[in-house]
Amino acid sequence: MVTSTAAEAALDRLIRDVDDPELPHVTIGDLGIVRSVDIAGDRAIVVLTPTYSGCPATEQIRDDVAAAVIDAGFVADVRIALHPAWSTDWISDRGRERLRAAGITPPPPAPEPGTVPVDLPVPCPRCGSRRTRLVSRFGATACKASYVCNTCTEPFEAFKAL
């Protein structure tokens, strides 16, 4: 059985549109955890890199991706790759906007090589103020921290930069 690149591209889009189970307002494609999608005969080989090696949602994501692959008519071969480690730089622009719209501050981009990073306070996703304070290094999930804005007084979470 020969598969076309059109079929591979369609399956790739389908997989990237799978919702993240812990952050349902973003997809696994938005978060950049889909490394590759390949079709070999009737088998779809999908490689994922979780946001954290111990992320509790990894098995659920694997199951959701496998279900999408099977629904598309392929045998699912979903693999987890931990190297290279996932980076917050892999979050798409759309993913960053969706996080912000959900009240979660996306992480800043990694500093350019040769520059000195400046550790600025996390901006509030609601009012944009940087007059914020850390409440807890651990939010609802291990990849987020809890903050409060001193300007608008709203609590919010921020995605941890990696």
d(C-alpha 128, C-alpha 126), whole Å: 6
Q: What pLDDT, on the 0 to 100 scale, is given for residue 162? A: 66
Q: Are 105 and 159 in contact (CB under 8 A)?
A: yes
Architecture of the domain delimited by 5-80: 2-Layer Sandwich (3.30)
Give yes or no for a contact between 157 and 132, defined as CB atoms under 8 angstroms apart. no
Tell me: pLDDT of 161 over 80. no
- pLDDT for 118 equals 78
> What residue segments make up the domains of the chain, in order of their start?
5-80, 104-110+119-159
> Other CB atoms closer than 10 Å to residue 19's CB: what's the count?
14
38-86 pLDDT, tens digit per residue, is 999 999 999 999 988 888 899 999 999 999 999 999 999 999 999 999 9
User: Mind giving me the DSSP string for 51-93?
Assistant: SSTT-TTHHHHHHHHHHHHHHTTSEEEEEE--SSPP-GGGS-H
**Confidence (pLDDT) at 42:** 93
What pTM does this model have?
A: 0.83
Q: What percent of the chain has pLDDT over 90?
A: 73
Percentage, residues of the chain above pLDDT 70: 97
| Per-residue confidence (pLDDT) for residue 120, from 0 to 100 | 85
| pLDDT score, position 4 | 61
Question: CA 3 → CA 12, 15, 43, 126, distances in Å?
Answer: 13, 17, 10, 46
What tens digit of pLDDT does each residue of 90-119 get?
999 999 999 999 999 998 877 788 888 777
